[in-house]
Amino acid sequence: MKTLDDLLAEGVTGRRVLVRADLNVPLDGDVITDDGRIRASLPTITRLAEAGARVVVAAHLGRPKGAPEARYSLAPVAKRLGELLGRPVSLAADVAGESAAATTGGLADGDVALLENVRFDPRETSKDAAERDALADELAALADAFVSDGFGVVHRKQASVYEVATKLPAYAGGLVLAEVEVLRKLTGDAARPYVVVLGGSKVSDKLAVIESLLPKVDAILVGGGMCFTFLAAEGLGVGDSLLEAEMIDTCKRLLAEHPEKILLPADVVIADAFAADANTHTVLAANIREGWKGLDVGPITVERYREVIAGAGTVFWNGPMGVFELAPFAEGTRGVAEAIVASDAFSVVGGGDSAAAVRLLGLPEDGFSHISTGGGASLEFLEGKDLPGVRVIETGVGG
């Protein structure tokens, strides 16, 4: 696939370059609580701006219903992006309308502008290809080249991800290129033992990737809310813990087919309420009390998982071990993450809540070989699914 390096070699001075970034950051009101995705976008934007390009950034935030909503405006993102770039970033008032045309038309070499939330336009996510194509035409009119740098959205066939790449000379940004290279390593000849750490709330969310990875890996260490469905499949009571009853039989099958590969918590932290000030106890997984909720894995589990991780050649981690946002339930995630940092393994953090946990818990980001910016896209890649936003760059369609 053509890359950012190829575009820069062709020369970008005076050219408008549309960059599809993933700037979908968490907000508390208009305060960004984790700017990791903005920081991840900086290298590509900076390289283009320093080379004299007129950079036009497209991105989404949250899930607006195809119309402007103040709470999903990219205004806080434009402000933070400008702070990190050390230069002002102008924000268009619309996606591809008069304001976008005026804002991008007024750029000088090295300037950066941000279009308003692309999901304010219903055509962005429309199931009608003709509608997406029409928006892509309008976006393409704002630029001379397209750089795909939002790995978190490349699994979506959306106007600013897929169709626009058929309208302009299209290139993979550094972020997308790095993600694809790392994930191909995980699905190819990964160093053994290959250990996967899976957390998060639901087995159903991770079933496809579990099914895909089980034949390829040496161990899957299960935590998070999903572990209680597995524990129930072993015949244990789980109290009021998160449980997907309809997935119990599936978990039974997986455990029967791969008893030596799937490791479950030996102990858990339980609470009488989902709250930071709840009463808590650490109990064996077989002793979860009726009316209590399991909200983290316990220290015996952390030590057991640490031993497995210490001997690994490759570790892929997706999903926290507990409700890490609340202090009483953060130690499972912290302990397992610290074990990954301490290991000599090639280690990949699978984006989403795992990446947020790394930053919230103050863990060294350089302690991991790679921190993905695309949780859903990463999982779909590992499941073997087609990623339209990658395929369209690889095939060279456009321009």
pLDDT in tens, 331-359: 999 999 999 999 999 999 986 788 889 98
17 pLDDT more than 80 = yes
| Mean confidence (pLDDT) of the chain | 95
* CATH tag, 188-383: 3.40.50.1260
Least confident of 44-53, 115-124, 380-389: 380-389
Q: Which two tokens stand for residue 269?
A: 């932290």
pTM score: 0.85
What mean pLDDT do residues 308-320 have? 96
Amino acid 395: pLDDT: 85
User: Is 105 annotated as ligand-binding?
Assistant: no
Phi then psi dihedrals of residue 65, to 5 deg: -95, 50
Of all residues in the chain, the percent with pLDDT exceeding 90 is: 87
In this predicted structure, what is the pLDDT of residue 345? 97
pLDDT of 176 reads 94
Residue 380 pLDDT exceeds 80: yes
The answer on pLDDT for 196 being more than 80 is: yes
For the chain, domain boundaries: 4-178, 188-383
pLDDT-derived band at 399, boundaries 50, 70, 90: very low
User: Tell me, what's the pLDDT at 233?
Assistant: 97
**Residue 39 known to bind ligand:** no
> Residue 384 annotated as binding?
no
Whether residue 123 is annotated as binding a ligand: the answer is: no
Using a pLDDT cut of 70, give the percent of the chain over it.
99
Q: From start to end of the chain, where are the E strands?
A: 16-20, 27-28, 31-32, 54-58, 89-91, 112-114, 145-148, 170-172, 194-198, 219-222, 262-263, 267-271, 280-284, 293-297, 314-318, 346-349, 370-371
Residues catalogued as catalytic: 37, 202, 352, 376
Q: Are 4-178 and 188-383 the same fold in CATH? A: yes
CATH architecture of the domain covering 4-178: 3-Layer(aba) Sandwich (3.40)
